[in-house]
Amino acid sequence: MSVQTNRLLAASFCAVSLAACALTGCCRQCDSKCMPRGPWESPTTQAMRALLLVNTPELHILRVDGRNVNPSCVGEGGVREYHLPVGERRVTASFRYQAPVSGGLIGAVEGRPLTLTRRFIAGHEYVAVYHEHPYPKPDAESLLEKVAVTLFAPQDRYWSLDIVDLADIGPDSEPEIRRAQVYSSLIKEDSADLGRVEF
């Protein structure tokens, strides 16, 4: 084969690959189940699962019910989607970011892994949010599972994890929660648009 033929074949292959990606809506960030944007758009999935969103880059879901997990899909803006079985689940998370420490150096601030038990309802959408708090850390035994120590922080702090049902939020909610609600609305709009057939 000539060099020109090889280039033509390579260009054709690239064009077909790009067209396939455009038609399915998939991107490098989504796993193989991302059709067209995420399995959450399927009514069957929504009837059997709950959606947990993480839109804070520093926060990482490590385990669910003691098992290591990866996002089901990474959507627009890096929002991570976790499609969880319904019922009571134990979600373990941590966070990590870079911040100034002593002497003008930059160091990692991270939270010791923390586990929160939450009941997830089929078809509901949730967002995980974390907060850092100055000491003193609460003593109440009921809070022990909800707070953990922040490691390597510029000052002594503890952190807490919350998983918020988007159906229960108000207009004065935190920015992460409002962004999750917008993202959820976009998924639903995309799903509705895909369901429409034009003749």
Torsion of CA 13, 15, 21, 23, to 10 degrees: -120
**For position 15, what pLDDT does the model report?**
46
Q: Give residue 27's pLDDT.
A: 41
Give the per-residue pLDDT at 44: 81
pLDDT at 194: 47
Q: What is the pTM of this model?
A: 0.69
Domain layout of the chain by residue ranges: 1-30, 37-195
**Average pLDDT of adjacent 10-residue blocks, the chain of 199 residues:** 48 45 41 50 85 94 96 89 95 87 71 92 95 67 52 64 90 86 81 44
